[in-house]
Amino acid sequence: MPAAVPIYARGRTTLLALDFDAKHHNAEQVDTDVDRALGWLHECGARTVTDRSTSGGRHVLVPLATDNPLRVDDIKVLMQLLTARLITLDATPMLNAAQGCITPPGSPTREGGYRRLDGPLDAAIDTFVVRSDRGTVPRLIALLGGATTPRHRTPVAAVAASLTQDERLVGLGRERRLDPRFHRSTPVPEPVATYAATGKFTKAHKALWKSPSEARQSVISHAVLRGASTSDIEKTIATAEWAGLKRAYMDKYGIHFEQALQRDVDKALTWAASIVRPFHELTHKYRYTGGDASFLKDPIRRKWLAHAQLWIDTEFCGTRHRPVLLAVVQALAYTSALAGELIEGVPVVAVGGRSLSHAAGLMSESSVWSSLRLLRETPGSPLLLIARGAGREADRYALTTPATTRGPGQARIERARVEPVHTAWREIGLRGRAMYELVAAGLATNIDDALAGALLRPSNGYAILADLTAAGLIKRDGATLTVGSRSLDDVAAAHGLDTVAADRIVRHRAERIVWRAWLENRLAPPPPPPDTTRDERAADWSITVGTPSLDERASERLWAVTMADGPPPCPDPDLEALDLLSSELGAVVV
């Protein structure tokens, strides 16, 4: 059977895999579609690897920039545009983040034989090492004229999109444009420049665009990606360089062409803000993402962290919970130092699972919540819940001395680091953190010392060592261990974890905004009856406020219980139906 590999990992991908199927057509049509696709891809800075099967089908593999992993939502518009133009393209693998797979070159095929690589192996390896230019996907969408306004299926997604636009767009009204951080400087593709100058929708253009509307939108999108505003575009179409675009708008909309132009620019800005990434490297270090922030001179929290780690090593040694709990208590110590307080020498902090997930190395929120619950419920734990959160207030914790037979030694205290867990462990796996830190600190120089110091059984320890060696973090020479050629920062950059962290921060902000709006709506006083006079209204309200039916403490507990799960989801049946048609049948809204 063919051996397929997954395209997505954790819902994101750095590979654009185009599957051209000859089942319903023929090999000649597949070759025609592949040639057209390669022309567009290379125009937009893509590097490609192709292969072919014995049935006549072909794959086009496009390794994307590793520091900008994409989600299905980022790919969906592009796949719709490509499938509308390439009849042999099967978009299913790229639109299925859970099960989307592709068979690599050299794999056996169902018909017998193997997938054969086009070109030399060294060239294919070089393509996957160098990879495509950053921004290949948005450039390709712009080339095909597909700058569409995304549909948001949940209130959180809509708020997150609004927050993203506020961050990535500057200016107001007709001067609104992309922030300079996101501007592209590559030349405009020749077909786009030709159409802007002539305004003629020729036979050659019909292979690229399905309608003059897509052609106009392509020109506008390329201008927006290069920092143009509506005002700039209006000035440009008054020149000979873009005279054809102005003529195309006037032929279509007449005296209302300016309103149509503004509408297309707004559409392009909304699309661009949702898909672009900084052209230059980010210089701002996000909070809780493994930056340089640390509190190594905080003796109280450092000693608490060492004691908490000792307790976890004792109570959970050999369990799958141990590495996760170690990351959570380190995140608690850091968050307490950053935003907590000391009460009679005891660190106290109010923190929610979402905020803590950033300090815990981008751990999933569900893992953080389950870890906090386990720590709260285990006797002798170093974590004490002193006030349950209600409304906008987070749970409040005291970082107490755990119940252990002995305290942490000075060596363990010196190893405890009150700082965020590095985000690279999200990709490598938290179970390897203890061994790596021992080797990096020079406390273990051979396998036996590393296994003993990290409290690992040989079977698990050697598997972890293999993972760390494969990641380049540790170099093994026989039984001797040294720090490898790659750092944790290198691993994080290679997997685009700055992008993942930034997206999670925006999502958490959106979730808080939706939650607070729901709270305010739920707790707002009921509107007065329509026939009540102003004086009666004021009197009724004063009576209601002055005589609550429950005491304040009981009311808080009631709200805490009823609101623990957040606002109920509000799915839109129309959007659900459209999404189903789009994902299953490739339908396009016109």
Q: Helix 212-225 and helix 257-275: axis angle, to 10°?
A: 60
- Residue-level pLDDT at 586: 54
Cα separation, 392 vs 126, in Å, equals 52
DSSP state of 432: G
- Residue-level pLDDT at 537: 47
- Residue-level pLDDT at 266: 92
Reduced to 3 states (helix: H, G, I; strand: E, B; else coil), residue 114 is strand
How many other CB atoms are there within 10 angstroms of residue 525's CB atom?
9
Q: Tens of pLDDT along 80-89?
A: 999 999 999 9
Q: Which residue has the tokens 């959007």?
A: 575
| Three-state secondary structure string covering 225-290 | HCCCCHHHHHHHCCCHHHHHHHHHHHHHHHHHHHHHHHHHHHHHHHHHHHHCCCCCCCCCCCCCCC
Contact 289, 256 (CB under 8 A): no
Cα separation, 327 vs 13, in Å, equals 26
In 418-571, DSSP assigns E strands to 474-477, 480-483
pTM of the predicted protein model: 0.76
Q: Tens of pLDDT along 400-417?
A: 999 888 888 898 998 999
The segment(s) of the chain belonging to CATH 3.30.70.3300 are 5-133
How many other CB atoms are there within 10 angstroms of residue 405's CB atom?
6
- Residue-level pLDDT at 547: 42
Q: Which amino acid is at 195?
A: Y
DSSP state of 446: B
- Residue-level pLDDT at 134: 85
| Long-range pairs of 179-185 with CB within 8 A, sequence gap ≥ 24 | 180/227, 181/278, 181/279, 181/280, 182/225, 182/272, 182/276, 182/277, 182/278, 182/279, 183/225, 183/226, 183/227, 183/279, 184/135, 184/139, 184/225, 184/226, 184/279, 185/226, 185/279
Tokens, residue 123: 């060239």
Tokens, residue 93: 């693998």
Cα separation, 440 vs 435, in Å, equals 9
Distance of CA 86 to the CA centre of its chain: 29
What is the helix, strand, coil percentage profile of the chain, to 5?
Answer: 55, 10, 35
Contact 456, 468 (CB under 8 A): no
Of 213, 62, 81, 196, give the one whose Cα is nearest residue 141. 81
| CATH code for the domain defined by 5-133 | 3.30.70.3300
- Residue-level pLDDT at 290: 40
Task: List the beta bridge partners of residue 117.
Answer: 51
Phi, psi of 57 (to 5 degrees): -70, 160
Which parts of the chain have pLDDT scores under 70? 1-2, 149-150, 152, 278-294, 527-590
Output b/e per residue, 191-226; b: 16+ Cβ within 10 A: bbebbbbebebeeebeebbbebbbbbbbbbbbbbbb
- Residue-level pLDDT at 164: 87
Tokens, residue 362: 């981008």
- Residue-level pLDDT at 391: 79
Reduced to 3 states (helix: H, G, I; strand: E, B; else coil), residue 447 is helix
